[in-house]
């Protein structure tokens, strides 16, 4: 069973819990809005279901409310930031705002963020960049209980380690063979990052290097669902379709693990994210036994590029639009309605969920109520 809640009242409920856990009103509202935007985008794994874990992290001291990004080195085109264990939704936006400003001034910026609490959906930061007409690349590691097994391995050794790439696309008139345009902001509230200033339906590729995000296993477990074969191994290293193996302790207190996408290729990308997002940022990598801490720390390497400063802006816009149009004219394969590009599913979901509301399953709602009770913010029954 589930209940459906419109974005604005859901944001208000979540902000109330975050504020009760110690955040100033403005911070609580921004964190809540970011989480609800993830739900609106169709990524419930990074949405309001994270709140119980955030409350626990605050109470154990691993997440520090009202703390932001601190620059430890800044030469304009190169920027290093310490997240100081602040909310990743705050730290990440601050980092991107600084990086975008420097990229518009210098043409490019490489920035690192270390020691940030959970950054959430990395696609949000790519959307900020493409809205400013910039290309962005993001490599992120996850310091928490290791939930992903290396290719050929039998237990978890690292996190879901996301990679994200954003490319601004200028809107072009489509041929008659192309599908209709989308990208409207969802009813009930505008989304300034969904469609950029230049009017493009931007390419935003955002994926975990695991076969599926850990949060999606939490959602499936809460709904009592099984998952496809090939996603998981159990605590003995054997294949399983039970998402609970990575959500709750199994025999002997052990956990199962997620597999990487693309076998050795996804595994290689996961290691790259650990080295670039973790080691290079100074935030650290995972190389110790698992613990029960609820804190989730991220490191991120971001590269921002301004095509206009490269001198290729016109050719870039023309060639990118021509290639996307070429893809859209491809006839649909069996079982598909048509070809789409990264970013389109999220834009469609925002329209539908902004209009119809966001479904919260009963188990997640119970967890939200319990989190609120821990900090004295009672939610409706």
Quote the crossing angle between the two packed helices 7-20 and 25-40, to the nearest 10°. Answer: 140
Q: Could you give the 3-state DSSP secondary structure of residue 275? A: helix
Q: What are the C-alpha distances in Å from 11 to residues 6, 30, 32, 157, 375? A: 9, 9, 5, 35, 17
* pLDDT at residue number 252: 85
Q: Is a pLDDT exceeding 90 seen at residue 129? A: yes
Tokens of 29: 């509202």
pLDDT tens sequence across 293-334: 999 999 999 999 999 999 999 999 999 999 999 999 999 999
pLDDT of residue 178: 40
pTM of the model: 0.88
CA distances from 151 to 21, 211, 269, 289, 317 (A): 39, 11, 11, 19, 38
The band of 212, judged by pLDDT with boundaries at 50, 70 and 90, is confident
SS3 label, residue 81: strand
pLDDT in tens, 14-31: 999 999 999 999 999 999
Task: Please give the residue that has the higher pLDDT: either 174 or 130.
Answer: 130
Ordered domains of the chain (ranges, CATH): 2-210+260-374 (3.30.1370.60)
């Amino acid at each position: 069973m589930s209940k459906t809640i419109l974005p604005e009242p859901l944001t208000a409920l979540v902000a109330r819990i975050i504020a009760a856990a110690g955040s100033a009103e403005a911070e609580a509202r921004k964190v809540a809005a970011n989480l609800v935007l993830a739900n609106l985008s169709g990524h419930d794994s990074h949405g309001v279901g994270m709140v119980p874990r955030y409350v626990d992290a605050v109470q154990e001291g691993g997440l520090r409310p009202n703390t932001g990004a601190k620059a430890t080195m800044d030469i304009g085109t190169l920027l290093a930031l310490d997240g100081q264990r602040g909310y990743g939704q705050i730290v990440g936006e601050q980092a991107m705002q600084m990086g975008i400003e420097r990229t518009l001034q210098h043409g490019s910026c490489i920035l690192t963020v270390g020691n940030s609490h959970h950054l959430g959906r990395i696609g949000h930061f790519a959307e900020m960049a493409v809205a400013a007409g910039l290309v962005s690349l993001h490599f992120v590691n996850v310091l928490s209980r290791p939930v992903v097994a290396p290719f050929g391995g039998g237990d978890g050794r690292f996190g879901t380690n996301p990679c994200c790439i954003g490319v601004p696309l200028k809107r072009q008139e489509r041929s008659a063979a192309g599908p209709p345009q989308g990208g409207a902001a969802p009813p009930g509230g505008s989304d300034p990052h969904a469609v950029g200033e230049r009017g493009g339906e931007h390419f935003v590729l955002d994926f975990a290097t695991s076969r599926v995000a850990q949060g999606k296993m939490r959602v499936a477990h809460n709904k009592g669902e099984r998952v496809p074969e090939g996603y998981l191994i159990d605590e003995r290293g054997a294949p399983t379709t039970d998402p609970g193996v990575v959500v709750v302790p199994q025999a002997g207190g052990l956990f199962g693990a997620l597999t990487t996408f693309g076998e050795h290729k996804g595994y290689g990308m996961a290691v790259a994210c650990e080295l670039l997002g973790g080691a290079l940022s100074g935030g650290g990598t995972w190389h110790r036994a698992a613990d029960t801490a609820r804190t989730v720390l991220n490191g991120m390497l971001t590269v921002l590029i301004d095509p206009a400063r490269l001198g290729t802006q016109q050719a870039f816009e023309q060639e990118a639009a021509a290639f996307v149009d070429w893809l859209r004219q491809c006839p649909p394969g069996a079982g598909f309605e048509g070809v789409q590009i990264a970013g389109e599913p999220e834009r469609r979901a925002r329209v539908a969920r902004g209009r119809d509301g966001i479904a919260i399953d009963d188990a997640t709602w119970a967890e939200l109520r319990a989190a609120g009770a821990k900090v004295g913010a009672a939610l409706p029954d």
